[in-house]
Structure 1
Amino acid sequence: MATSPPTVLLLGTCDTKLEELLFLRDQILQASSQIRVIMIDSGRHEVKNDAINISRAQLISRYGSGALLTTSDDLPRGELMEFMSECAAKAIKELFSRREIHGMVSAGGSGATSLASAAMREALPVGFPKLIVSTVASGDTGPYVGETDITMMYSVVDVAGLNEVLHDILSNAGAAIAAMALTYAARQRQRLQQHDTADGVIPSKRRIGITMFGVTTPAVEAIRRHLEFSYPDSSLEIFVFHATGHGGRAMERLIREGRIDAVLDLTTTEIADHVTGGVMSAGPDRLAAAAQAGIPYIISLGATDMTNFGPIATVPEKYKHRKLYKHNSVVTLMRSSAEEGRQIGQHICEKLRLAKDVGMVQVWIPKGGASMISTPGGPFADQEADAALFGAVREGLERSGIEVVEDERDINDGGFARDIAEALARLMGLESQQP
C-alpha cells in the first residue's frame, strides 16, 4: 500500500488555542514544501475556520456517539476531556492504519496535554513521531508519557496568546515535528520498497526483550554477548529494558503490539515495588503480556530482593527501621523481607499460571543471590528472605506444567548467564553456529 505525502496531524482545542495552533500549523508548513497538515479540533465549543480539517462536530459524529453532539456541551470538564480523547484516538487510529499521517503534534495546558497524550498512547505505536508543547512538560511527565515515546517540549510561558517566547518555541516545535514526519515517511517508503523486491520478503529479525537493572547489568551484558556471538546468522535483535516501572510497561506494550518475539525477563524487581509500594512499580499486570502472547518466555528473580525509593528522606516512615542501602544520592533500596518475598513469589506464579502455552515458559531461581548486593557477604544477604521467595515460586508452580530451574549460582554469575541464554535459544528453536 502506498503512503500519502508526509503529513502531520495537529490536534488541539480550537475554542481556546486557535491562534496558537494556527501559528504552529504555519510553522510546520514553512518547514518543508513537502509537508501537509491535518488539523483536528478537540475543543468544547464549535469553531469555524478553513484550516480545520476535522471539526469538533465531525469528530464526535464520526468517532463518538452522535447523540452526544448536543449534550456534550453539558458534560463536566473531566468527562468531556475523556470523551473527546476517545473520539480523537479513534480518528487518529484510522488515519494511521491508512498510512495517511507520519507525525502528530499538539500544544496547550494540562487539560489539552492530558487529552492529546491519552489519544497518542491509545492510537499510535512506539516509533511514530509524537510531540506535545505543554505548560506541564518541566514537571512530572510520567502520567502523560507513560511507557511510550511521546516527546514533551516545555512552553515556558502559557499557551495563551502569542509572544516572542512562544513564537520561538512553537517555531522549534513546528520544525521538529516536520523533520520527524519527513524521516518517518522516508523509513516507511524504504520498508515498503524492501518488501516489494523481486526476491520477496526480506528475512525478519528475531526480537528478544531482556529486563535489566544496575544490580543485574553484568548478567544482561553476558547474555547479550553470548546470544550475538553464538547465533550470528539468526538475525537476532535485542532490546534491553531498564526495569524502572516505565521500562517494564514499555516492554509489555511492545509485546502486545507484536514487536517482540521472545523475552528473557531476568529482572522482575518491579513486582517488589508493586507489592511494597515502591516508586518503580509497573502495576499489577506485570508479566501478563508475554505469558498471554504464548511466546518463548524465561523469567528470573533479578533484584526482587529490593524495593526502590527516592532519596533516603523520602522512605516512608513505616520502613525507616528496615535494612536500607544508599544506591546513589537519589535512589534508596530497601531489602525485601521474608513475607514480602512470599508475596512477590505468589504474584509471579499467579500471572504465569495464566500462560497461553506453559511449555514456552520457564522460571530460573538464582539461589546464590538475586542481585549483586544479595550474594553471601553482601549488604542485602538474607537467607531467610531468599528461602521464602524461592519457596513461594517453587510451590506456586507445582503441577502447573511450567519448568522451574533451581540454580546454585547467583544471577550475575557468567555460567548462569550463559545457561539461561541457551535455555531461551532452545525455546526459540535457534541453532548455534559456534563449535
Structure 2
Amino acid sequence: MKSPVILIVGTVDTKSDEIGFMREQVQAAGGQALIMDVGVLAKGRVIPDIANTDVAAAAEVTLQQVMDSGDENSAMALMALGASRLAVQLQTTGRIDGLLVLGGTMGTDLALDVARSLPLGVPKVVLSTVAFSPLLPPERMPPDLMMVLWAGGLYGLNSLCQSALAQAAGAVVGACRVARVPRFDRPVVGMTSLGSSCLKYMVQLQPELDKRGFDLAVFHTTGMGGRAFESLAAQGQFACVMDFSLQEMVNQMGGSVVSAGPDRLMGAGLKSVPMIVAPGATDLVDYPAWGQMPERFAGRPSHDHNRLIASVGIDADMRREFARELASRLRQAQGPVHLVLPLQGIQEWDRAGAPLHDPEGLAAMMDEMARCDWGTAEVSRIDAHINDAAFVQQVLGVFDDWLAQGLVEPAAGMKATHV
C-alpha cells in the first residue's frame, strides 16, 4: 500500500511549531506531508512545500494585494480561494490523498472552504478551536468532514496541544489507508427521512428499487443529513431523488438550529435531477430536547424523540406559509417534478391518538396546497397516510413511469420498465 500524502494547511507565520509537529506525526503514522502556507504576515520556521505567494497567485492576486485588501477577514478569504483551487488541482492530479487543516476561527473559516472543494470520499480532518460549534453553519460543512477539538492549543506546543495534533494526524492517515471513494457502480436514488419511526416508507421502497437496479441512499433530515443530501444532489450524483422529509425547511422558517441551510430542496431541481417530493414531517419544528422550547411555540403540542431532539407542532398559519414556500422552490426546478400529497397524514406522530395529531392543521396545509401555483410540477393526492403502503405504491408508479419515458435513466442491463 502506497504511503498516503496528506496536504497540511496552516499559517506557517504563527503556527510553525504546530505544523512541524503535525508533519512529524503524519510521517510517524506512515504518511507523507505536503505543507501549504496560508499565512500572510511573515515567514515561519517551517519551510512550506507550497508558499503563501503561490496560494495568493492561485487567487489571481499577489501576496501584497492580499495584505492590502483591507483587513484580516478579506485577506483570509482570498487565501481560502487560492488554497481551495490548489487543493483541487493537487487532488485531481493524484498528488494528495487527504487533507489536514488547523486553526482557530480564522483558520477554520478557511478550512471549511478548502474541505468543501474536495469530493466526497477524500478524507478531510480539521483541527479547530471551534470544532462542532454552533458558529459553523451547516451549509458550509462538507458531508464527510471530520473534526478534532484543538484543546489547549491556541498558543504553544504543550502536551494537550500535542495530543490533539497527533490524534488528527493519525485520523487522516488512517482514513486515507482504508478510504473508499464512492464508485456509483449502480445509479443512486437519494431519499430523505426523519429517522425510521417517524417516517417508514424506505423499508418498502428499498427492495423495490434494488429490483430495478438502483441503490438507495437515505439521509436523516436532522440538519447535517439534509446538507449532505443537498450537496450530492447539486453535484448530480443521484439518478433521481425522493425527497419526502422536508422538515428542515420548516426548521429554517422557525429559526431552529436543526437546519440544513436556506437552500434546502434546491440542489436537485437546479441540476435538473428528477424529483419525487412529499411534505413529510413538515408540521414540526425541532429543537434540542435538553434546552427550552422556542418561545414562539409555547403551548403547542410537542414530542420528545430522545434526550437530544424534541419536536413541536406548528400552527395552521405556518403550515400555509410552508405550502407557499414549497411551491416557490419547486417552480424553480429545471427537471421533472412530481409532488405526492398524502391526505391522511405526513408523519407517524400525527395519526389519531398520537401526541401531534392535528387534523385542522393538516387540512389547512392541504387547502393551501390546492391554491398554490406548482408550475410544471405534477401533483397527485392520495387518500392515505405517508407511512401507508398506498404512498409507496404511488411513488413507485411515478418512478416506473419516468423510467418508461426515459426521464430516469435505467440501470445498466435493466429494462426501461419494471416487470
- When normalised by structure 2's length, the TM-score is 0.88
**Which residue, 50, 53, 60 being the options, matches 1:54?**
50
The structural deviation recorded for 1:395 is: 2.5
The 8 Å contact of residues 13 and 44 in structure 2, kept in 1 or not, is answered as: no
CA distance in 2, matches of 1:355, 1:62: 34
The residue type paired with residue 92 of structure 2 is: S
The structural deviation recorded for 1:26 is: 1.6
* 1:260 aligned residue: 238
* 1:423 aligned residue: 398
**Which residue, 357, 367, 370 being the options, matches 1:381?**
357
* 2:191 aligned residue: 210
The structural deviation recorded for 1:260 is: 1.5
The 8 Å contact of residues 153 and 160 in structure 2, kept in 1 or not, is answered as: no
The residue type paired with residue 354 of structure 2 is: G
Give yes or no for the alignment of 1:289 onto 2:271.
no
Give yes or no for the alignment of 1:248 onto 2:226.
yes
**Which residue, 129, 136, 140 being the options, matches 1:135?**
129
CA distance in 2, matches of 1:159, 1:17: 9
The residue type paired with residue 219 of structure 1 is: Y
Deviations 1:96-145 (A, max 9, x none): 23222110102232322222122212x11221111122222264474387
Instruction: State how 1:232-243 maps to structure 2 within 5 Å.
Output: 234=213, 236-243=214-221
Larger helix share, 1 or 2 = 1
Instruction: State how 1:24-423 maps to structure 2 within 5 Å.
Output: 24-32=22-30, 35-47=31-43, 51-66=47-62, 69-70=64-65, 72=67, 75-121=70-116, 123-137=117-131, 139-140=133-134, 142-143=136-137, 146-184=141-179, 204-214=185-195, 215-228=197-210, 230-231=211-212, 234=213, 236-311=214-289, 313-357=291-335, 360-397=336-373, 400-423=375-398
SS in 1 for 2:277: strand
CA distance in 1, matches of 2:101, 2:162: 15
CA distance in 2, matches of 1:158, 1:30: 21
The structural deviation recorded for 1:345 is: 0.8
* 2:6 aligned residue: 8
The structural deviation recorded for 1:371 is: 0.5
The runs of 5 or more residues in structure 1 that have no matched partner are 192-202
CA distance in 2, matches of 1:316, 1:206: 41
The 8 Å contact of residues 40 and 52 in structure 1, kept in 2 or not, is answered as: yes
* 1:199 aligned residue: none
The runs of 5 or more residues in structure 2 that have no matched partner are 405-409
- Distance of aligned partners of 1:71 and 1:106 in 2 relative to their CA distance in 1, 3 Å threshold: closer
SS in 1 for 2:310: strand
The structural deviation recorded for 1:288 is: 1.2
SS in 2 for 1:152: strand
CA distance in 1, matches of 2:304, 2:271: 38
* 2:407 aligned residue: none
% of aligned pairs identical? 27
- Distance of aligned partners of 1:165 and 1:275 in 2 relative to their CA distance in 1, 3 Å threshold: closer
SS in 1 for 2:399: helix
The 8 Å contact of residues 226 and 418 in structure 1, kept in 2 or not, is answered as: no
Deviations 1:183-209 (A, max 9, x none): 44xx57x97xxxxxxxxxxx9311111
Count of matched residue pairs: 407
SS in 2 for 1:161: coil
The structural deviation recorded for 1:37 is: 2.2
The structural deviation recorded for 1:280 is: 2.3
- Distance of aligned partners of 1:393 and 1:97 in 2 relative to their CA distance in 1, 3 Å threshold: farther
The residue type paired with residue 290 of structure 1 is: A
The structural deviation recorded for 1:63 is: 2.6
CA distance in 2, matches of 1:41, 1:129: 20
CA distance in 2, matches of 1:100, 1:70: 29
- Distance of aligned partners of 1:408 and 1:42 in 2 relative to their CA distance in 1, 3 Å threshold: same
CA distance in 2, matches of 1:289, 1:173: 32
The residue type paired with residue 150 of structure 2 is: S
The structural deviation recorded for 1:311 is: 2.6
The 8 Å contact of residues 12 and 46 in structure 2, kept in 1 or not, is answered as: no
- Distance of aligned partners of 1:71 and 1:250 in 2 relative to their CA distance in 1, 3 Å threshold: closer
Could you tell which deviates more after superposition, 423-432 or 342-351? 423-432
- Distance of aligned partners of 1:284 and 1:164 in 2 relative to their CA distance in 1, 3 Å threshold: closer
The structural deviation recorded for 1:56 is: 1.4
The residue type paired with residue 369 of structure 2 is: V
| Aligned-residue CA RMSD (Å) | 2.6
Deviations 1:266-303 (A, max 9, x none): 11111211222223232332111111222221000110
CA distance in 1, matches of 2:391, 2:218: 18
The structural deviation recorded for 1:423 is: 2.2
